[in-house]
Chains A and B, each alone.
Chain A
């Protein structure tokens, strides 16, 4: 309160305060209109039966109970999404870390390799999906043509319910690996060299160095990206919408795809709003578990001093 009065009294400070409040006003308006208002409405809609044409009809927690107890597709989509996330997050992170270790070697031309590995990262969304739709074509796609060349019968990829999710994960590694690699590379390069030398003096090999020096020191970065990666994986949508439409046999009916179908094909807006909140809660719970678990493996410098 003191500071506020001080600010008002002092003309220069008052001028700054006035400017400050007016400069943030675009954000404030945007937040109220495109953030806060929709959130409140979403809570309300989730308690309603609402098909856009007629006004929302309040039904209490019916949408939530229907989802949890009467909707098999809901559980299918949760299973698909969790399975996809559980497989994709570790594979993308380990894959990118391996790439980072590989391009962290002082070798001639390594910068060119870094650029090459990064290039797929600039392809996203629709282009990525149509490119891989063609790559994964079971008969004529590049991957199976290549396998045939070596006399291997490739799987049906997106057309096989057992392979559809792994196919999308394979695509993720190709498209995300290079970008994440650069993040991890920066972390690897910030590890002080003398720490490795002391391991060498004690006769440790590369594995000792990796396990006792590298891993602890880059663990905060790994942790941050595992959280971001989980959030992103839980939201998977475009790939499934374009490449598989949820099939075959609902094996790629991911949560957000089902939500989209409910909202914009069936116009069950209340039901879909309830779904959105359930996904939010699930993602939040997973993030909290990750935070709790992180105490066991994430090392923060300076913690020892406490």
Chain B
């Protein structure tokens, strides 16, 4: 009897020690992941003279750095461009990928599956191969230094991956629901708009978040198409400032914090969709 109790106790102790070890390991890793954020926040609030010291809490908090951002980078015009480009890209992508996905998920027509497989195959298209001809095409169209190259393509298809993602979701909508609407005389456009889209909100949110992350952070697109300074985006402005010989790190970090803010807000508001968007797409680069 006593022996058994003793061994039970041993097992319990072993488990507790193991748990403590795991917990410490979890904490150490957590610190490594989170500390850079505190570090940029701290740097962004330091006077430039204190930036070069390992001091977490500066003696004087300098919110001036955030004001300086507006001097060093044409922040407001760039912010406006980033917002407009992101919004238009989201609208275009969500509308066009959902309507195309509707054709694959909710309608029956000859050739449907073949074309769907073909769309999936286009995901293999290497970006750098089409980048140069696209640049030349947009140049000949007179679209350079406008937001057109960054927004208009989104309205035409919205990306193979998004079509795929929405189609998978649409397939789970009961056929009987759509057929009932058809018998009532609803047009397909009407069914798409008033029945399928409202049901697909979670999937649409995921697509919108993927698109936002892509458009907001996009660097190569603006770099190539928006060479004139007045037309830049936040990503471009910050990159230019970071690329200078001696950027003021406090200002650079303040600018980064500002650009990061919408992403962090969206992350905490829509955590579930955000994580879904990431684990499903994995498109981060």
Give the CA-CA distance A7 to B127 in the complex, in Å: 38
Q: Judging by beta carbons under 8 Å apart, are A35 and B238 in contact?
A: no
Q: Judging by beta carbons under 8 Å apart, are A105 and B22 in contact?
A: yes
Chain A CB within 8 A of B43 CB: yes
Nearest residue (CB) in B for A105 is B22
Q: Judging by beta carbons under 8 Å apart, are A242 and B112 in contact?
A: no
- Across-interface contacts of A146 in B (CB, < 8 A): 54
Q: Judging by beta carbons under 8 Å apart, are A27 and B100 in contact?
A: yes
Q: Judging by beta carbons under 8 Å apart, are B218 and A134 in contact?
A: no
Given contacts A103-B26, A126-B235, A130-B256, is CB(A186)–CB(B279) below 8 Å?
yes
Rounded to whole Å, the gap between the CB of B239 and the closest CB of chain A is 5
Count A-B pairs with CB separation below 8 Å: 252
- Across-interface contacts of B271 in A (CB, < 8 A): 115
Q: Judging by beta carbons under 8 Å apart, are A134 and B128 in contact?
A: no
Chain A CB within 8 A of B163 CB: yes
Which B residues, 92 to 120, have Cβ-Cβ distances below 8 Å to chain A? 96, 99-100, 102-104, 107-110, 112, 115, 119
Of the candidates A27, A41, A137, the one whose C-beta lies within 8 Å of that of B133 is A41
Q: Judging by beta carbons under 8 Å apart, are A135 and B224 in contact?
A: no
Q: Judging by beta carbons under 8 Å apart, are B285 and A235 in contact?
A: yes
Q: Judging by beta carbons under 8 Å apart, are B34 and A125 in contact?
A: no
Of the candidates A23, A116, A179, A272, the one whose C-beta lies within 8 Å of that of B188 is A23
Of the candidates B23, B25, B223, B275, the one whose C-beta lies within 8 Å of that of A182 is B275
Of the candidates B34, B126, B223, the one whose C-beta lies within 8 Å of that of A276 is B126
Q: Judging by beta carbons under 8 Å apart, are B259 and A127 in contact?
A: yes
Chain B CB within 8 A of A17 CB: yes
Mask: chain B, 117-152; 1 = CB below 8 Å from A; 0 = not: 001001001111111111111010000000000000
Q: Judging by beta carbons under 8 Å apart, are B157 and A27 in contact?
A: yes
Of the candidates A120, A131, A140, the one whose C-beta lies within 8 Å of that of B256 is A131
Give the CA-CA distance A37 to B134 in the complex, in Å: 9
Q: Judging by beta carbons under 8 Å apart, are A41 and B136 in contact?
A: yes
- Across-interface contacts of B61 in A (CB, < 8 A): none
Rounded to whole Å, the gap between the CB of B50 and the closest CB of chain A is 11
Chain A CB within 8 A of B57 CB: no
Give the CA-CA distance A264 to B134 in the complex, in Å: 13
Q: Judging by beta carbons under 8 Å apart, are A119 and B34 in contact?
A: yes
Rounded to whole Å, the gap between the CB of A127 and the closest CB of chain B is 5
Of the candidates B19, B34, B153, B188, the one whose C-beta lies within 8 Å of that of A107 is B19
Of the candidates A26, A131, A174, A283, the one whose C-beta lies within 8 Å of that of B33 is A174
Which B residues, 1 to 51, have Cβ-Cβ distances below 8 Å to chain A? 19, 22-23, 25-26, 29-30, 32-37, 39-40, 43, 51
Rounded to whole Å, the gap between the CB of A49 and the closest CB of chain B is 14
Q: Judging by beta carbons under 8 Å apart, are B156 and A140 in contact?
A: no
Mask: chain B, 244-265; 1 = CB below 8 Å from A; 0 = not: 0000010011011001100110
Rounded to whole Å, the gap between the CB of A122 and the closest CB of chain B is 5
Nearest residue (CB) in A for B109 is A20
Q: Judging by beta carbons under 8 Å apart, are B110 and A3 in contact?
A: yes
Give the CA-CA distance A221 to B188 in the complex, in Å: 38
Q: Judging by beta carbons under 8 Å apart, are B157 and A276 in contact?
A: no
Chain B CB within 8 A of A176 CB: yes
Nearest residue (CB) in A for B278 is A179
Give the CA-CA distance A176 to B278 in the complex, in Å: 11
Give the CA-CA distance A205 to B118 in the complex, in Å: 47
Chain A CB within 8 A of B284 CB: yes
Give the CA-CA distance A9 to B125 in the complex, in Å: 38
Interface of A is mostly: helix
Nearest residue (CB) in B for A32 is B156
Q: Judging by beta carbons under 8 Å apart, are A123 and B263 in contact?
A: yes
Give the CA-CA distance A225 to B188 in the complex, in Å: 38
Interface size range of chain A in the complex = 35 or more
Nearest residue (CB) in B for A183 is B279
Give the CA-CA distance A121 to B285 in the complex, in Å: 11
Chain A CB within 8 A of B282 CB: yes
Rounded to whole Å, the gap between the CB of B155 and the closest CB of chain A is 7
Rounded to whole Å, the gap between the CB of B277 and the closest CB of chain A is 10
Chain A CB within 8 A of B243 CB: yes
Rounded to whole Å, the gap between the CB of A260 and the closest CB of chain B is 8
Mask: chain A, 146-188; 1 = CB below 8 Å from B; 0 = not: 1001000000000000000000000000111111101100100
Chain A CB within 8 A of B220 CB: yes
Q: Judging by beta carbons under 8 Å apart, are A107 and B26 in contact?
A: yes
Rounded to whole Å, the gap between the CB of B120 and the closest CB of chain A is 12
Q: Judging by beta carbons under 8 Å apart, are A16 and B107 in contact?
A: yes
- Across-interface contacts of B19 in A (CB, < 8 A): 107
- Across-interface contacts of B153 in A (CB, < 8 A): 30, 34
A-B contact pairs, 29 of them (CB 8 A): A20-B107, A26-B158, A27-B157, A29-B157, A34-B153, A35-B125, A39-B130, A41-B137, A42-B129, A107-B26, A113-B26, A125-B218, A126-B239, A130-B252, A134-B43, A134-B249, A135-B36, A142-B35, A142-B36, A174-B32, A174-B36, A176-B284, A177-B33, A180-B282, A182-B278, A238-B219, A263-B132, A263-B135, A273-B132
In order of increasing CB-CB distance, the 10 nearest A-B pairs are: A30-B156, A20-B109, A27-B157, A23-B103, A38-B133, A30-B157, A38-B130, A41-B133, A19-B188, A17-B109
